[in-house]
């Protein structure tokens, strides 16, 4: 009897330990050594970043400064030798950021920029709405791009691409799972300031810039957690965290959820994650109102918008 009780006690302790480990914050989870390392990059400055009024521009291109930011990124990025794939949102500014920022990798290794629709930005504003597959093909004709994943509805902002929070979270998860299943060991992912918070599930500094905590061409590196593979959670590498945050302690899951609620409430008010039929019009009106209060900042310096 004593032996039986002793074994039951050990089993109970083991089960409790396992459950406690399952509930641990994903930011402390061990990485999946078989899955690729993901280097996330926010696009360079586009014309929509220059002013709130430019949010009405459809699928804008990079500014000259944005192109220079790409050249700076090419020099600053420390993992060129390891990159085996480059994946980008099919929106023009992200595609050009990938082509210009990682052009040497693409040329030397004979890669193509894979356009992945799930990586597109969150809102249905014109500046965050992509172009038809035919127009994308025309824009990037002669460039090393792979547009095989583009469908006619990828830029519809409906269904899985709607600016609803649940839809955005679902496609962020789909994108992570797609990447986790790739054979390459190190992959560059070029996306957008708002979407990258959903993609990485890290909401730190989400109010640092307008609609994002990511600067133009900022890059961060991640591995996949071994916990909950159905959601393919990402864990920022220690080197990446130290580069941008020093020795600051990572937020736990409850703190991240609180930041997420605050950020998404603000984004809903601005139209970034509002999925109703007049979301773009409401967002432009909200941004125009915001511009009135920040006119001096926009006129005297460089504002940073999604």
Residue with the two structure tokens 């909950």 = 228
What mean pLDDT do residues 66-90 have? 98
**What are 116-125's pLDDT values in tens digits?**
999 999 999 9
Distance separating alpha carbons of residues 147 and 90, to the nearest angstrom:
8
For the chain, the maximum distance between any two Cα atoms, rounded to a whole number of angstroms, is 81
Distance separating alpha carbons of residues 167 and 89, to the nearest angstrom:
16
**In this predicted structure, which of 1-10, 182-191, 224-233 has the lowest mean pLDDT?**
1-10
Query: Looking at the whole model, is its pTM more than 0.85?
Result: no
| Residue 304 pLDDT > 80 | no
**In this predicted structure, which of 60-69, 209-218, 250-259 has the lowest mean pLDDT?**
250-259
**What are 246-303's pLDDT values in tens digits?**
667 776 677 777 767 777 776 666 666 664 444 455 455 555 555 554 444 433 333 3
Residues of the chain with pLDDT > 70, as a percent, come to 70
What mean pLDDT do residues 180-203 have? 96
The pLDDT of residue 303 is 39
Q: How many CB atoms lie within 10 A of CB 188?
A: 30
**In this predicted structure, which of 28-32, 97-101, 118-122, 165-169 has the lowest mean pLDDT?**
28-32
Q: Got the DSSP string for the chain?
A: -HHHHHHHHHHHHHHHHHHHHHTS-GGGSPB-TTSPEEEEEEPPPBGGGS-GGGGGSSS--B-HHHHHHHHHHHHH-TTGGG--EEEE-SSHHHHHHHHHHTHHHHHHTT--EEE-GGGS-SS-SGGG----HHHHHHHTTTSSEE-TT--TTTTS--GGGSS-HHHHHHHHHHHHHHHHT-S-SEEEEEE-HHHHHHHHT--TTTTSBBTBSPPTT-EEEEEEBSS-TTT--EEE-HHHHHHHHTTPPPP-HHHHHHHHHHHHHHHHHHTSS--STTHHHHHHHHHHHHHHHSHHHHHHS---B-
pLDDT confidence tier of residue 64, bands split at 50, 70 and 90: very high
pLDDT confidence tier of residue 229, bands split at 50, 70 and 90: confident
Region 34-300: CATH code: 3.40.50.1240
The pLDDT of residue 293 is 44
Distance separating alpha carbons of residues 120 and 78, to the nearest angstrom:
25
């Amino acid at each position: 009897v004593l032996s039986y009780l002793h074994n039951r006690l050990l089993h109970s302790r083991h089960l409790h330990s396992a459950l406690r480990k399952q509930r641990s914050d994903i930011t402390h989870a061990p990485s999946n050594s078989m899955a690729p390392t993901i280097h996330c990059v926010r696009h360079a400055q586009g014309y929509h970043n220059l002013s709130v009024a430019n949010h009405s521009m459809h699928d804008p291109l990079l500014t000259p400064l944005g192109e220079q930011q790409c050249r700076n990124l090419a020099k600053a990025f420390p993992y060129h030798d390891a990159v085996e794939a480059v994946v980008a949102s099919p929106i023009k500014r992200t595609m050009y950021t990938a082509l210009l920022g990682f052009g040497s990798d693409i040329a030397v290794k004979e890669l193509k920029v894979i356009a992945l629709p799930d990586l597109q930005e969150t809102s249905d504003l014109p500046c965050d709405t992509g172009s038809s597959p035919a127009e994308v093909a025309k824009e990037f004709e002669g460039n090393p791009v792979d547009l095989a994943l583009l469908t006619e509805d990828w830029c519809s902002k409906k269904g899985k691409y709607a600016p609803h929070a649940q839809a955005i979270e679902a496609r962020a998860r789909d994108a992570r799972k797609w990447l986790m299943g790739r054979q390459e060991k190190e992959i560059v992912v070029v996306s957008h300031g708002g979407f990258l918070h959903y993609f990485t599930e890290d909401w730190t500094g989400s109010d640092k810039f307008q609609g994002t905590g990511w600067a133009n061409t900022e890059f961060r590196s991640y591995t996949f957690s071994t916990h909950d593979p159905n959601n393919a959670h990402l864990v920022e590498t220690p080197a990446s965290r130290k580069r941008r945050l020093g020795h600051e302690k990572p937020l736990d899951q409850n703190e991240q959820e609180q930041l997420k609620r605050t950020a998404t409430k603000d984004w809903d008010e601005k139209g970034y994650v509002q999925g109703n039929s007049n979301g773009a019009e409401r967002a432009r009106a909200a941004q125009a109102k915001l511009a009135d209060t920040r006119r001096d900042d926009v006129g005297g310096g460089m504002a940073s918008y999604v």
